[in-house]
Amino acid sequence: RCGFVAIVGRPNVGKSTLTNALVGTKLSIVSRKAQTTRHRIQGVLTRDTEQFVFVDTPGFQTRHGGAMNRMMNRVVTQALADVDVVVHVVEAGKWSEGDAKLLPLLPAPERTILAVNKVDLLKQRNDLFAYVSRIMALHPFAAVVPVSAAKDKQLDVLLGEIAQRL
């Protein structure tokens, strides 16, 4: 199995850390050129039976409304529709407006995975349940995986959930 995976999320949630941790030393190519014109490939992870191609998606402006903003959002939505799986990264316990603004741009829920990052910073792991329930009410992600990109926790679980949807 082989497929394209986009890692999305508001600034500072740990997207770069996660992408590096997932691809890490197994990085085989990094290219600024796209396979399709829409995507910049950030890294490829090849395992026994799967190949994950992590791609970058265009950034978008959320601060201002108007035609330009709507056009940019269309570009992002289209780019996200072109990948097989979208991983929306959020920070454990820290939901914000920036996270919410991405939800309407996500493709069908069955191709979206919620990665709740920085769980190493949580004092009470029980708090995650209420946090995740609130997000799932807004967008029913196909899978939810608490991870720590920095501490390399549960990344194999995340890869497993992605692989199931390639």
Residues of each annotated binding site for GTP: 9-16, 56-60, 117-120
Nearer to Mg ion, 15 or 118 (CB): 15
Buried b / exposed e along 106-115 (16+ C-beta atoms within 10 A):
bbeeebbbbb
Which residue, chain included where needed, has tokens 């991405």? 102
Rounded CA-CA distance 141/111 in Å is: 8
Which of Mg ion, ligand GDP, none is residue 150 near (CB under 5 to 8 Å by kind)? Answer: ligand GDP
φ, ψ at 40 (rounded to 5°)? -100, 125
Which of Mg ion, ligand GDP, none is residue 149 near (CB under 5 to 8 Å by kind)? Answer: ligand GDP
Interface with ligand GDP includes 9 (CB under 6 A)?
yes
> Which residues contact residue 114 at a Cβ distance below 8 angstroms, ignoring those fewer than 6 apart?
87, 88, 90, 132, 135, 136, 141, 143, 144, 145
In the window 74-133, what residues touch ligand GDP (CB under 6 A)? 117-118, 120-121
Over the Cα atoms of the chain, what is R_g?
15
Total interface residues for Mg ion by CB under 5 A: 2
Query: What binding mask, one character per residue, do residues 8-27 give for Mg ion by CB under 5 A, x or -?
Result: -------xx-----------
Interface with Mg ion includes 46 (CB under 5 A)?
no
Nearer to ligand GDP, 11 or 66 (CB): 11
Could you tell me the two tokens for 10?
Answer: 């508001």
Q: Quick one: which H or E segment has residue 75?
A: helix 67-81
Instruction: Select from 7-15, 47-55, 118-126, 131-139 the region that touches Mg ion (CB under 5 A).
Output: 7-15
Which of Mg ion, ligand GDP, none is residue 111 near (CB under 5 to 8 Å by kind)? Answer: none
φ, ψ at 23 (rounded to 5°)? -85, -45
Enumerate binding residues for Mg ion (CB under 5 A): 15-16
